[in-house]
Copies of this chain bind each other. A is one copy, B any other.
Amino acid sequence: MRKTKKVIVILSGGLDSSTLAYFAAKNSGAYLKNKVYTLTFDYGQRHRREILCARKISTRIRAVSNKVIKFDLTLWGGSALTDSKVSIPLSERLPGALANRKSLKVPVTYVPARNTIFLAFALSYAETIGAEEIYIGVNSIDYSGYVDCRPAFIRKFTELAKLATASGVKGKGIKIKTPLLQLTKADIVKLGERLHVPWQDTWSCYLGGRQPCGLCDSCRLRLKGFMEAGTKDPLSYKKLPDYYKKWLYKYK
* Residues in A lying within 8 Å of B, measured CB to CB: 67, 69-73, 75-78, 104, 106, 110-117, 119-121, 123-125, 127-129, 147-148, 150, 152-153, 156-157, 159-160, 163-166, 168-170
Given known A-B contacts A124-B76, A124-B113, A163 and B152 have beta carbons under 8 A apart: yes
Which B residues touch A115, using CB under 8 A?
Answer: 164
Count of chain copies:
2
Cβ-defined partner of A150 (8 Å) among B73, B113, B148, B163: B163
Which B residues touch A148, using CB under 8 A?
Answer: 163-165
Which B residues touch A113, using CB under 8 A?
Answer: 120-121, 123-124, 127, 164-165
Docked-complex contact B165 and A147, CB < 8 angstroms: yes
Bound-state Cα–Cα, A116 to B69, Å: 16
Bound-state Cα–Cα, A169 to B69, Å: 28
Given known A-B contacts A157-B160, A160-B157, A124 and B73 have beta carbons under 8 A apart: yes
Which B residues touch A121, using CB under 8 A?
Answer: 71, 113, 117
Cβ-defined partner of A166 (8 Å) among B67, B110, B116: B110
Docked-complex contact A67 and B76, CB < 8 angstroms: yes
